[in-house]
Copies of this chain bind each other. A is one copy, B any other.
Amino acid sequence: MKLEQERIVAAALALVNREGLSGFNLRALALMLNVRASALYWHVGSKDEIVARMAKMLYERAFDAAPKGVGWQGWLLGFGRAFRASLLGQRDSAQICTMARLLDTNIPTLMERIAAPMVEGGIDKASAVSMQGAVIAYTLGWVVYEQSSTLHDTLEQMYDFTESYERGLTAMVRGFAADRSKPP
């Protein structure tokens, strides 16, 4: 039963990769699974829930790919890069994350797990979640523009996406480090 949900989410991500988010609908999704659209409702509550699970998958991929044991600054940098890579690996992923209404049950566990490497590094939990949230927000927003069908080409000829993302990321993390070295 859990397996069926994961099959649905995987098919949904593949469908968005092929057709784009605007071409993602339950009839086409059901067709990929050799089933009718109404059959999906046995395994999943709504289209919104599918979108939420897609977004969760993108966060988890980032968490799994991010290098561990590199200190809290290294973790912030690594998770940011891994999150961007996760998003760039999936078409319209930034839109998916933006419109996803993550389930209340998923949120605490997901945030705990992501902030854990920082707390272990000696950062208080409030600061950890706050800084982590800033890096995630920056990365998501960055990919919104990088994936924008109308903005991508124009932006690309003004600066290199990876290089500029990196500059913003390191600037932010360096600024956080400077912040924490001044107040005891």
Question: Could you list which residues of chain A lie within 8 angstroms of chain B, going by C-beta atoms?
Answer: 94-95, 97-99, 101-104, 107-108, 111, 125-126, 129-131, 133-134, 136-142, 144-145, 148-151, 154-155, 158-159, 164-165, 167-168, 170-176, 178-179
Contacts and interface: CB of A to CB of B under 8 A. Distances in A.
A84 to B, nearest CB: 11
State the number of copies, please: 2
A138 B168 contact: yes
A136 to B, nearest CB: 7
Interface SS, A side: helix
Contacts of A167: 130-131, 134, 176, 179
Contacts of A140: 141, 144
B138 A137 contact: yes
Contacts of A134: 138, 142, 164-165, 167-168, 171
Contacts of A150: 101-104, 107
Count chain B CB atoms within 10 A of each CB in A94, A131, A139, A164 and give the residue with the most.
A164
A174 B168 contact: no
A137 B102 contact: no
Contacts of A104: 150, 154
